[in-house]
Amino acid sequence: MHSVNVITPPAVEGTLVLNGRFQREQSLDLGQLERYESVLARPFDLRCYTTNRFIRRVEPYRGVRLTTLITAAGLPNDVPGEFKRTVFMAVGHDGYVVTFSWHELFNTPVGEHVLVAYECGGRALDVEDGAPILFSGADILPAPRHVKRLARIEAHVLLASA
Ligand SMILES: Nc1nc2c(c(=O)[nH]1)N[C@H]1C(S)=C(S)[C@@H](COP(=O)(O)O)O[C@H]1N2
Ligand SMILES: [Mo]
């Protein structure tokens, strides 16, 4: 896989960094996330993919769409059309990683439901609650892409190996 050097800044709790192949690296604390247009999600059951275990009912999240943050940071465009080969890695402070493709986020209904949340059930989430929380509201089993203590969104432009 082709990958540019990603210089990872020191992680600050409650602050989300967008880095890698974005045009403008971003660093957003909870207050800055709240300034973007917000979306209210539906309540859902958090259920583990690996075990199918029911974890808990989650009240409606409020947050900003991941696509809104990515658009603000600027998709890679050094090579025409390369933005369509971009994969985004969402990384938690504990090193937990999940992926999203550009197509999935910008060209399927899944993307409309991927939020970086800072409020749940009308109550502000703070760092102790795991904020900001990334979640993908259209997933069949939502627990894997429900990332607590979200630290970074990395943009990687993939190249075929042959
Ligand atoms: N930051 C982070 N978020 C995570 C994980 C993790 O290891 N780290 N595990 C995921 C998985 S696989 C599950 S099943 C749920 C578990 O949720 P819980 O810790 O609230 O029980 O968190 C998800 N979000
Ligand atoms: Mo899980």
DSSP string, 61-128: EEEEEHHHHHHHH----SSTTGGGGEEEEEEETTS-EEEEEHHHHHHSGGGGGEEEEEEETTEE--GG
For 33-46, what is the mean pLDDT?
98
pLDDT at 4 over 80: no
Q: Measured from the CA of 94, which atom of ligand 1 is nearest?
A: 1
Q: Where are the domains of the chain?
A: 16-157
pLDDT at 1 over 70: no
Predicted confidence at residue 5, as pLDDT, reads 59
Residue owning the nearest CA to atom 10 of ligand 1: 144
Pick the ligand that lies closest to the CA of residue 148. 1
pLDDT at 115 over 60: yes
In the CATH hierarchy, which fold is given to the domain comprising 16-157?
Sulfite Oxidase; Chain A, domain 2 (3.90.420)
